[in-house]
Structure 1
Amino acid sequence: MPTALVLGVNGQDGSFLAEALLRRGYHVIGAARDTTCRHVAPASGLTYERLDLQDLAALGQLLEECSPDLVFHAAAVHGPAGFAYEPVWAAMAAVNTVSLHAVLEHARTRSPTMRVIYANSAKIFPGPLAGRIDETTPYRATCLYSIGKIASLELVRHYRTRHGIAAGNLILFNHESRRRPANYFLPRIAEALDRALADPAFRLEVETLDFHGDWSCAAELMDIAVDIAEKAPGEDFVMASGTTWTGRAAVETVFARHGLDWSRHIAVRQAPRDPGPAFSVALDLLEAKTGRRPKKHISDIVELLRPASPR
């Protein structure tokens, strides 16, 4: 039975990764700094290890003891749009980048056949995005978070090309679930839809809807991530739905599914403006290497996010 170590198992991505790996028969070790495992059921078969990724000695000991065939690094210090990273820079660098280096060094020196998959971010691409976005799109740092993610991207590529480690980046666009903080855009819209269905007078205020976004289902993306680990672990992939929406079109679509006029329930502070050129995430490499691409429509994703909707 292959062994997989999931760093950041209590986060959205880590927990869905663990569940996908368990379904496929892996022995899964999940690590996070909390006292207990948050999302994955105790009866699932997962082995939980309490670990602070800023403690490199403890991380090295865990890698030595469990000797995983596969490591998913899904831990991160991050926040929604507008989050100030300056006060948490040291912790963010330690968790997002320095601990990744420790994993890659363990692979180089102790376990050269170990595969390493890193959850990277589309924040490496400077906004506003426009045109075709794929694995060759130039990246540039625009905040402290993207500085760390670009460093991690290059670390993975360095250990892959210089030392032959089967390591890859998942360059993730917006991907949603109930396990994601409720202050992100689509979870807020899902809650607003739920409340509007219960109260015709409900209104949510948002700053603007004149922007472009690509939203996918986190559980679906993480299941595809396991395919990447099994079929193409030594490559980088952009991961998204492949369908771009304006915020306005997304809101109109999910409210119309329930026969509601979104404008009665969503108040936009800024005057309407041109959202600018659209972008499109190209999934050609993902389909070629795994035979898969996300299928969940934005309305399906919002239904999964609604607090009152059945699971």
Structure 2
Amino acid sequence: MTSAQHPRSAFITGITGQDGSYLAELLLSKGYEVHGLVRRGSTAATHRIDHLRSDRHDPESRLQLHHGELVDTSRLVSLLSDIVPDEVYHLAAQSHVPVSFDEPESTANVTGVSTVRLLEAIRMIGLDVRFYQASSAEMFGSTPPPHHEDSPLRPVSPFGVSKMFGYWTARTFREAYGMHTVNGILFNHESPRRDEAFVTRKLARAAARIALGHERHVYLGNLDAVRDWGFAPEYVEGMWAMLQADEPGDYVLATGTAHSVEDFARLCFGHVGLDWTRHVRFDERYLRPTEVDALVGDPSKAAHELGWRPRTFAPELARIMVDAELSLLQGRTADVSPFPTPPAGHPGHPIAG
């Protein structure tokens, strides 16, 4: 049988999130068969990937969703045994840092221990698979920037601690069992698909709504926090590139540029001709028990070994996100995929037979 009849396959946890949806699009554009894990007990908000599922009941679709929970090891074993993927991308997590202070045990279970469950399932089955672990810049915590792959890990939140657990688990399975595991240490990456609870989407949405007269103010916590903000579709390209390298390793993906929350507010409101100081209000309820003052990455290793470089930086990112919010409010298409959908009949088309 031809290679077109046997496309490479990938299993994505967190496929309905920002990164998972962009990654699914990227892999489909490359001809992959894509399988995603979604929670049965939730409403399974699939709006970020519904455009990829022209016929969601077609058993021949190149995009298949499977119900399951990251806390259910037997289900993970069953799914991985049936799918036999070439690549596994573990993106699912409780990813809200403030929520992790309210729900530390749940965060540790879903964000940290799930990595053990997946890797142990892969090892038990004996799958020859390449595994991507979604690590986070929050692992660096109080370590001063710039941050690179060898910077000390000093997390200051339950989320950061949970991500560090997953990071070391992936490295341990690589070193102990020779498994092909990589850690993508991604710095903040945003898009119009970002959850509204994250500060970049919150600011972009507020700027658009205030510009159109729908509201007057937005309430934020620490305006001095400094972050390294990039564009999510470019970062999923880096995820894929990591798993194509001959040897597994760990890579920082970042822009290498620093902007404060205040800077991003200025960029968003400035794009619609408004003075941010007239509309942004401080609310101490949004302060974290411990704050990470600055996270700024050094992506030179990824550039040298993977050829990955960021193309979109904070000023353009703010414009992209505000324009998407304006389009949404005005009833226009707000989010266009950056990855082309293959033509019908191509093995990467979501409803190819």
TM-score normalised to structure 2 length: 0.78
For residues 293 and 119 of structure 2, the distance between their equivalents in structure 1, rounded to whole angstroms, comes to 38
Once the two structures are superposed, the pairs formed by residues 1-311 of structure 1 within 5 Å of their partners are 1-34=7-40, 38=46, 39-40=48-49, 41-43=52-54, 45-80=62-97, 82-85=98-101, 87=103, 89=105, 91-111=106-126, 113-127=128-142, 129-199=143-213, 202-231=216-245, 234-268=248-282, 280-306=296-322, 307-309=325-327, 310-311=334-335
Structure 1 residues 36, 151: CA separation in 2 closer, same or farther (over 3 Å shift)? closer
For residues 276 and 106 of structure 1, the distance between their equivalents in structure 2, rounded to whole angstroms, comes to 34
For residues 280 and 84 of structure 1, the distance between their equivalents in structure 2, rounded to whole angstroms, comes to 22
Structure 1 residues 87, 283: CA separation in 2 closer, same or farther (over 3 Å shift)? closer
For residues 242 and 120 of structure 2, the distance between their equivalents in structure 1, rounded to whole angstroms, comes to 22
Q: Deviations over 1:194-234 (max 9, x none)?
A: 02322398232333422211111222211221111112661
Matched residue of 2:182: which SS?
Answer: strand
Moved more, 152-161 or 250-259: 250-259
Matched residue of 1:205: which SS?
Answer: strand
For the aligned residue pairs, the C-alpha RMSD in angstroms reads: 2.6
Contact 2:84 2:127 in 1 (8 A): no
Structure 1 residues 99, 278: CA separation in 2 closer, same or farther (over 3 Å shift)? closer
For residues 294 and 157 of structure 2, the distance between their equivalents in structure 1, rounded to whole angstroms, comes to 22
For residues 106 and 302 of structure 1, the distance between their equivalents in structure 2, rounded to whole angstroms, comes to 41
Shift of 1:137: 0.6
Contact 2:238 2:253 in 1 (8 A): no
Unaligned runs of 5+ in 1: none
Matched residue of 1:130: which SS?
Answer: coil
For residues 256 and 233 of structure 1, the distance between their equivalents in structure 2, rounded to whole angstroms, comes to 45
For residues 78 and 32 of structure 1, the distance between their equivalents in structure 2, rounded to whole angstroms, comes to 16
Contact 1:10 1:32 in 2 (8 A): yes
The sequence identity of aligned pairs, in percent, is 28
Unaligned runs of 5+ in 2: 1-6, 55-60, 285-290, 328-333, 336-353
Number of corresponding residues: 304
TM-score normalised to structure 1 length: 0.88
Contact 2:100 2:157 in 1 (8 A): no
For residues 6 and 30 of structure 1, the distance between their equivalents in structure 2, rounded to whole angstroms, comes to 5
Matched residue of 1:136: which SS?
Answer: coil
